[in-house]
Structure 1
Amino acid sequence: MQVAMIGLGRMGANMAQRLQRGGHAVVGYDPSPGAREGLAGMGIGTADSLEALVAALAVPRALWMMVPAGEPVEATIAALQPLLSAGDVLVDGGNSNYLDSQRRAAALQALGIGYLDVGTSGGVWGLAEGYSLMVGGDVEAAARLSPLFEALAPTPTTGWAHVGPSGAGHYAKMIHNGIEYGMMQAYAEGFAILERRQDLIPDLAGLAELWRHGSVVRSWLLDLTAGALKDNPGLEGIAPWVPDSGEGRWTVAEAIALDVPAPVITQSLIERLRSRQDNAYADRLLAAMRGASGGHGVKRG
């Protein structure tokens, strides 16, 4: 199958390579000449504009976007819309908000253009291991593009599925990432406790490696944790500053809107926000209140 890949960051370029290895004809586009040159160096064709990209594809076309959520997706769709024809299918494989995906699908459907929202998990390891793909949107459009999903997934029959109507793919990925927040936080807290008792557990990397085999807490995240601790046991050079890309916030907002208690996911998000608080005002005020109310000493910094 012929497919265009729009957005040639690391993940987009990796997906383009995996598709080509799966026997698909891939042409890529990115506004950065360097990104296009990088893909061309892998033996994959590129186009220097969206117009040239669309012109290089036979109809009906399949185009896969791997661009940042929000305005970049909006701008890309706006630029593509007049170039596409009825029967074409556009895929958003990024981390867009599911409500945006539903709106975009409805607008493009009116023009006869298919729109699939595909929640994509696998990160930088997807090239070698395959991606987990949560496909939302029209069933027929998803079936038509199934050869692409089969090539990107770990195997043709595992790691991908049509999970529901428009918005469902990005909704599933949103909750997936919220769960990931909680899992990461639990590992981080557990190893923080262990690190305080190195008289008992002197080899954290060794313990992580032990848990990877047969333990009920084994997971891919633990595999990555074990690797990180082996490479850098003291975590030297790593600042205690944890970003978030939005899906955790959306998950918490959805839980509140649905009256579903989600304390673990919510607290894991709060901890990420807290990690960015250098000399936090709230903590300093707490110390001042404790001193004023109980006569306790206040540490001066």
Structure 2
Amino acid sequence: MAQADIGVYGLGTMGSALALNLADHGFRVAVTNRETDWIADFVSEAGPLAQHLVPAATLEQFVAALKTPRTILFMIPSGAPMDAMIAAVTPLLSDGDTIIDGGNADFNATRARDAALQGSGIHFVGMGVSGGEEGARHGPSMMVGGSDHSWVQLKPMAEAIAAKYKGDPCVAHVGPDGAGHFVKTVHNGIEYADMQMIAELYGLLRDGAGRNAPQIGEVFARWNAGPLQSYLMNISARVLQSVDPETGHPMVDVILDKAGQKGTGRWTVIEALKLGQSASAIEAAIAARGWSSEKDARQAGETVLAADAQPAAVPQDADLENAMLAGRILAHAQGFRLLQAASDEFGWSLDLARIAEIWRAGCIIRSALLDDFAAALRSDMPFGHMILAPRMVDMLAASIGPLRRVVAQAALAGVPVPALSGALSWYDTMRHGRGSTNMIQAQRDFFGAHGFERLDKDGKHHGMWMRD
């Protein structure tokens, strides 16, 4: 039997979909799984694609089935399971072989695993995969981190199975060690912000304008035909127009308003703070999910906290649409700023424009705006801020007014819009050449003698403060 081009370990939802995608493109794929009874069922259900699959009952058989230098894709939980697998498989590998972690891993752990394998001849790749089960099966967006050697091995297969945008594969070797997993983490942070902003506009239309779910779905569907075209806007429109077969009510109306999260959004915020950045729209989205979990406390608050909201004009649909446009631009701008900060910190030399391009198809945050973002990221971008690129300055000039009106009217009506508010506050901070942190520096010097810089003199100074 001919040896396999690549091995896929882990036949869960994502692993099995990627294995079938590879087989669909003519690659021979060795497959195995910790629960070995899954293997025969998987091969049997693969139908005609089974001819491209090489099942292996043991790790030794799995490794032996691969062409050298070997490429092995692990689709297993990150953390301890991945570390255990590395320990088990490395004694079976040879110089030039590549291990790929295709899960949602903490990029710090990926960097540590890469460093631990340095000098062994074995290469380690952290690969972010976006698109869910459907994307994995028919074309995901992939963000690959690792050595040039490993990319040479992986590239033909990755480009074949990736989603295509006008023929361009939505996959790239973004940088070394943990770069791929970091880019995927920030992708997920942007995803959190986009989802939250859509939910906030849904809340305004529901609680402020009194519209029902199907009516709001129609609004979102109209928006999806314009500048806001995106995967998330499309599925949001479909969600709102879906009916629960048990009750006949809109499906969204029977869902408990408590949202979960798996950790990548939190990682984005944690790493932003470590790097001295503040992705306020993403932070607000993470916080909103946390607050949503306190359902009982919120219900108690509804009865005792002052209902001081004022009657406010419900924003026009056009204002809501443009508010979403501005919010999406600002959330992405914060994400790209974070990617640049990490690139500078870790010496990754990330190509931000190319990252925007590989998100144009296959991934969850694919949208019509990504071409604009890529163009802006390739243009003159003062101080490394996408919002200062001429293209973004013009787009924000046309949409920031509606965002301001929507946030103001929501505040008056007592409807929470934390992500939209966070995005607007960041925009306003960035357009104030003179801020208010001189007061904070004065406070710090008063109570801690931390010193401050002056506008008119160099060096560190202390104030002559009036004390009791």
**TM-score of the superposed pair, with normalisation by structure 1:** 0.88
SS in 1 for 2:82: helix
Map of 2:13 onto structure 1:
10
What letter is aligned with 1:14?
A
Choose which of 171, 187, 197 in structure 1 pairs with 2:198.
187
Q: Aligned pair in 2 of structure 1 residues 129, 206: CA closer, same or farther (>3 Å)? A: farther
Matches within 5 A, 1:23-62: 23-41=26-44, 42=46, 43=50, 44-62=53-71
Asked if the contact 1:116–1:136 (Cα under 8 Å) also holds between the matched residues in 2, the reply is yes
Amino acid corresponding to residue 256 of structure 2 in structure 1: A
1:18-56 CA distances to partner (integer Å, 9 max, x unpaired)?
A: 101111101111112453234212123322221221122
In structure 2, the residue corresponding to 1:235 is in which secondary structure?
helix
Q: Distance in 1 between matches of 2:242 and 2:112?
A: 45
> Which residue in the other structure is 1:220 paired with?
231
- The answer as to whether partners of 1:102 and 1:166 remain within 8 angstroms in 2 is yes
SS of residue matched to 2:174: strand
Structure 1 counterpart of 2:114: 105
- Partner secondary structure for residue 166 of structure 1: coil
Does 1:264 pair with 2:281? Answer: yes
The 1:90/1:228 distance shift into structure 2, 3 A limit, reads: same
> Structure 1 199/59 Cα, relative in aligned 2: closer, same or farther at 3 Å?
closer
How far the C-alpha of 1:131 sits from its partner, in A, is 0.9
Q: Give the match's secondary structure for 1:57.
A: coil
Distance 1:24 1:245 in 2: 32
Worse overlay, 40-49 or 246-255:
40-49
Superposition deviation, residue 238 in structure 1: 2.4
Give the superposition deviation at 1:241. 2.3
Letter of the 1:187 partner, please give it: I
Instruction: Tell me, yes or no, if the aligned pair for 1:3 and 1:26 is still in contact at 8 Å.
Output: yes
Q: Give the one of 46, 69, 74 matched to 1:65.
A: 74
Find out whether 1:273 has 2:285 as its counterpart: no
The structure richer in helix per residue is: 2
Superimposed CA distance per residue, residues 90-111 of structure 1 (whole angstroms, 9 cap, x where no aligned partner): 1111111111111111222321
- 2:153 alignment partner in structure 1: 144
Alignment equivalent of 2:23, drawn from 20, 23, 29: 20
Deviations 1:119-177 (A, max 9, x none): 11111221454111111111121022111111221137420111111110001001110
Specify the alignment match of 2:92 in structure 1. 83
Distance between the aligned counterparts of 1:90 and 1:83, measured in 2?
12
TM-score (norm 2): 0.58
C-alpha distance 160-201 of structure 1, shift in aligned 2 (>3 A) = closer
Q: Secondary structure at the match of 1:203?
A: helix
CA distance in 1, matches of 2:141, 2:286: 23
CA distance in 2, matches of 1:255, 1:104: 22
1:211 is matched with 223
Over the aligned positions, Cα root-mean-square deviation in angstroms equals 2.4
Give the whole-Å Cα distance in 1 for the aligned partners of 2:213 and 2:55. 52
For 1:282-297, what aligned pairs fall within 5 Å after superposition?
Answer: none
Retained in 1: the 8 A contact 2:98–2:123? yes
Whether the 8 Å CA contact 1:194–1:201 is kept in 2: the answer is no
Q: Which has the larger displacement, 246-255 or 229-238?
A: 229-238
Query: What amino acid maps onto 2:194 in structure 1?
Result: M
Which residue in the other structure is 1:245 paired with? 262
SS at the partner of 1:218?
coil
1:130 corresponds, among 139, 143, 158, to 139
**What do residues 66-109 of structure 1 show as CA deviations (whole Å, max 9, x unaligned)?**
11111111111111111111111111111111111111112223
Contact map agreement 1:134 1:162 (CA 8 A) in 2: yes
Kept after mapping to 2: 8 A contact 1:9/1:35: no
- Per-residue deviation, 1:237: 4.2
Using the TM superposition, name which of 72-81 and 30-39 deviates more: 30-39
Task: Tell me the distance in 2 between the aligned counterparts of 1:25 and 1:219.
Answer: 34
Amino acid at match of 1:185: Q
Mapped partners of 1:158, 1:69: distance in 2: 26
Instruction: Tell me how far apart the structure 2 counterparts of residues 109 and 168 of structure 1 sit (CA, whole Å).
Output: 16
Deviates more, 1:107-116 or 1:13-22: 107-116
C-alpha displacement at 1:239, in angstroms?
2.4
Q: Which amino acid aligns with 1:138?
A: S
Runs of 4+ in 1 over 4 A off after TM superposition: 199-202, 282-290
Query: Following the alignment from structure 2 to structure 1, what is the Cα–Cα distance between the partners of residues 211 and 236?
Result: 21
Structure 2, gaps ≥5 residues long = 244-249, 307-468
Structure with max Cα Rg: 2
Q: Could you tell me how far apart the structure 2 residues matched to 1:61 and 1:286 are?
A: 59
Q: Is structure 2 residue 182 aligned with structure 1 residue 171?
A: yes
The residue aligned with 1:94 is 103
| In the alignment, structure 1 residue 229 sits paired with structure 2 residue 207 | no
Q: Quick check: 1:28–1:39 contact (8 Å CA) kept in 2?
A: no
SS of the equivalent of 2:120 reads: coil
| Counterpart residue identity of residue 121, structure 2 | G
Provide the aligned length of Structure 1 versus Structure 2: 289
